[in-house]
Structure 1
Amino acid sequence: MTVQNVVWPLALLGIAAVALIFIFVISQARRVANAQETRQAAHTAHVIQAWFFGTLVVGFVLGTWLTLRHFPIPQQRQALQADQVVDVEGFMWGWTMQPTKVQIGQVVEFRVTSKDVNHDFAIYGPDGNIVAQTQAMPGFTNKLLYQFEKAGAYTVQCLEYCGVGHGLMKTTITVDAAGEH
């Protein structure tokens, strides 16, 4: 089940609830009330608002936690427990990467930075689908963890337009089967 399949029905329920509240308020608007009924109605409205606001806050916190708790961003300020480390530096219009071969099944830590402007370091699998990506920024090193499941040649490309040579900003990383490295 995707997030969109959950959010859409919840959004429709929220719209329906707001519509029902408006219909109720409009139906009560023509009714004449005395001071005691007005105070009671105001108190009831405040209680409903407080519960509604509390429910929204709890819903947003819970929804945020449920959708972001598995977000694959490793700790950036500590040593990572990777089997291999690849240092990557982007520049107009290329990549330097050391080493350029890694082993299948091992966790690889990419330490990605840029020499000049922002670039977007993206790894494409042999089938042409993107498998991992992070930003390459000057003066900062982003860490990306990835475990390659299939051997082959993986293409590294920049996804952030960085000038006229942007389309040529590609390199290859080779993923060897166990024992071939």
Structure 2
Amino acid sequence: MISTVYAITLVGIGLVMAVFYFVIINSKKTEADYQSITKKWYDVRSKWFIFLLILGTIVTFASLNPFPIPDQHKEYSSNDYQIVAVNGHQWYWTMTPATVKSGQPVEFQVSAADVNHGFGIYDENLVLIAQTQAMPGYTNKLIHTFDKPGKFKILCLEYCGLAHHVMITELTVE
């Protein structure tokens, strides 16, 4: 198998060299021949740059407005959101309360006691539906509304040590 790949690679390199040789041999134009072509392509290049600049600006504003992440610094009353305090430890989660209502936004206040953890919420098919970082000395807010009741798994997404794979808990949505 290796010798076949080696032979194909050598043939490919030979073909590329032959094309370069053909182009070099047949390029007998003088500098005067290139002046009209050069002017034309300078014009095309300028228009292409302006087009890309406008397109990039439009795509940037269209993709950032509205920004899909809720304001993390806004203070919410307990009437607006269900508050769930989450703390990551090596190698378990503490979550108070562990049951929330569907259809009402939940604000997860996520922190860590020791090292960085990745807080990931998975549905019953183990599809990731929301996530944030759990960091020592800092509280991240993750706001999510559960559309339907069920049991959701909380897994660590950041390798946090020897027993990282057992860092699993469950959230009940009624």
TM-score, structure 1 length as denominator? 0.68
Where does structure 1 lack aligned partners over 5 or more consecutive residues? 1-25, 177-181
Please state how far the C-alpha of 1:71 moved relative to its aligned partner.
5.3
Q: Could you tell me which residue of structure 2 aligns to residue 72 of structure 1? A: 68
Where does structure 2 lack aligned partners over 5 or more consecutive residues? 1-22
Residue number among 84, 94, 118 corresponding to 2:116 in the alignment: 118
Q: 1:154 to 1:34 in 2, by over 3 A?
A: closer
* Greater alpha carbon shift after TM alignment, 85-94 vs 69-78: 69-78
Please state how far the C-alpha of 1:102 moved relative to its aligned partner.
0.8
Compare CA radii of gyration and give the structure with the larger one.
Answer: 2
Which whole-Å deviations, capped at 9, do the CAs of 1:76-122 have from their partners, x for residues lacking one? 22225742111211121111112211111001111112222221101
Q: 1:104 to 1:66 in 2, by over 3 A?
A: same
Confirm whether residue 132 of structure 1 aligns to residue 137 of structure 2: no
TM-score, structure 2 length as denominator? 0.71
Q: Percent identity?
A: 39
Q: Could you tell me which residue of structure 1 aligns to residue 51 of structure 2? A: 55
Confirm whether residue 46 of structure 1 aligns to residue 30 of structure 2: no
Residue number among 78, 86, 89 corresponding to 1:91 in the alignment: 89
AA aligned to 1:74 is P
AA aligned to 1:57 is L
Corresponding pairs, count = 147
